[in-house]
Structure 1
């Protein structure tokens, strides 16, 4: 296991990383000219706003190409059980891309991320038979990619393909003839034995709510989460509520009560669905 850390230019490496297997990379390093489409843009370029959060992982792959499979997980993902049980569930899966919330453009035609997808000019050597109709989206705070999937993505980005990673990965890999599989849930890409397992959410809502594994809002790190389910995003209280230590005690509790009341209905729906 490696700790993958992306930071702005000039950020010193944390001392704690010295004792851990890690891959430390700065923004200029991930914006490689080898990926002209993904690195395009001036001062308004944003790793988050542009959907380029896959670039640190691609940088890791270029420096560590010898693995058969690559799991990537963001810091705010939780599994309410033993992780070895979760990973063991997919040891026999031959999928080239494992992710959550996989759906076609037909299922969610008005998703704003479709518009960020871009193709290179002229014919493609990497994807000569590309079909725009075969667009697929997914949610990628947690995903697994095979070595050949990583190779296809590297080659496609070098050729100039670009877009939000939650569109480019499933769409390009599907057009390359590679196998897609949803980790769980109720979509069309779920393996029969995993249908209804591992997480709950909506395929068509903008935030994927209600559910346990969604885009937003942030969830509190509660100890009584339903067992053996994926949760995202799990944030600390200060991030979730926007509270700082300088604020008045009663203001903290007022915001906390307001937050809990606003989330009660959604949590109740999520727990019933789960």
Structure 2
């Protein structure tokens, strides 16, 4: 009997600290056999990334979004899809996980990822809500979509950790050729998916996209609040230490946490030491 191939995953960071690297190594170790992770070192606010795999040029994959990103002055805020989608397409897996460096889990990563391996969802992310449930979201003023998209498909989500199907990634590139799409990728991705008839699911919070078995199983937050606070998986406030460094500062076990900002470089275990390559040898 053959062993199933692990799902692909990309871990995105713009920091080169050993604290981030140790966090990544814990993720890799605890998901061995489940997910094959690639470290993607971003270039700050630009689209060029250092990787150990080749990916298509962002401006050819998402030309309209790339142009909008340039007018925006960079990928922040709201254009990380210009970096993510080319990488997802390059890895050629049926599904690809996308995780930012400031996401953490207060438990064993395998306990979080393993139950999600069986879901066929095209977009698996957090805080999936309809526009009517979060009318005060700061990025609605920039949101734009073609006339054929029904308002019932207009959603926002929170993407520090998500999984995309290659099928949807390909459809997304075609849909985004239309310059009538615009705005934050936390709007364009779930809205395009809903409009295309793709399958959306919540990772395990609350709301209509959360299967009953995952209700409040993975994270907590407050979608109606601009910072998503209070909760464990929020926009702000930030934490200073990863779970493997200071587990005692994570009040609820077996939950996703965001954001963790190890900006000082030096964790409790010792000083900072930059690494030279995007993905140094283990």
Shorter-chain TM-score above 0.5: yes
**1:4/1:56 contact within 8 Å kept:** no
**Deviations along 1:130-162, whole A, 9 cap, x unmatched?**
213321111000000111111111111223323
What's the CA shift for 1:23?
A: 6.0
The corresponding residue for 1:59 is 86
Change (3 A) 1:163 1:88: same
Distance 1:109 1:63, change over 3 A: same
User: Aligned equivalents of 1:208 and 1:187: distance in 2?
Assistant: 14
Q: What TM-score results when the alignment is normalised by the length of structure 2?
A: 0.70
- 23 and 5 in structure 1: CA distance in 2 versus 1, 3 angstrom threshold: farther
Structure 2 counterparts to residues 1-274 of structure 1, below 5 A? 1-7=37-43, 21=52, 29-32=57-60, 34-40=62-68, 44-49=72-77, 51-64=78-91, 66-119=92-145, 129-160=148-179, 161-221=181-241, 222-224=246-248, 225=250, 226-236=252-262, 238=264
Residues 1:6 and 1:134: Cα distance change in structure 2 (over 3 Å) = same
Assess, with a 3 A threshold, how the Cα gap between structure 1 residues 136 and 119 changes in structure 2: closer, same or farther. closer
Distance of 2:185 and 2:48 partners within structure 1:
25
TM-score with structure 1 setting the length: 0.72
Q: Cα distance, 1:232 vs. partner?
A: 0.4
Quick check: 1:38–1:162 contact (8 Å CA) kept in 2?
no
Gaps in structure 2 of 5+ consecutive residues: 1-36, 266-270, 272-282
Question: Considering only aligned residues, what root-mean-square deviation do their CA atoms show, in Å?
Answer: 2.7
Count of aligned pairs between the two proteins: 222
Q: What is the CA deviation profile of residues 63-94 of structure 1, one whole-angstrom value per residue up to 9, with x for unaligned ones?
A: 33x21001000001001111112111111212
Which secondary structure state, in structure 2, belongs to the residue aligned with residue 158 of structure 1?
Answer: coil
Do the aligned partners of 1:33 and 1:39 also contact (CA within 8 Å) in 2? no
* CA radius of gyration, larger in: 1
C-alpha distance in structure 2 between counterparts of 1:182 and 1:93, whole Å: 11
Rounded to whole Å, the distance in 2 between the matches of 1:96 and 1:204 is 25
Query: How far, CA to CA, are the matches of 2:199 and 2:235 in structure 1?
Result: 24
**Deviation, structure 1 residue 44:** 4.9
8 Å CA contact 1:199–1:231 kept in 2: the answer is yes
- Give distance in 2, aligned partners of 1:73 and 1:219: 17
| Other-structure match for 1:262 | none
Per-residue Cα deviation, 1:8-34 (whole angstroms, up to 9, x for no partner): 679995xxx7xxx45689xxx534485
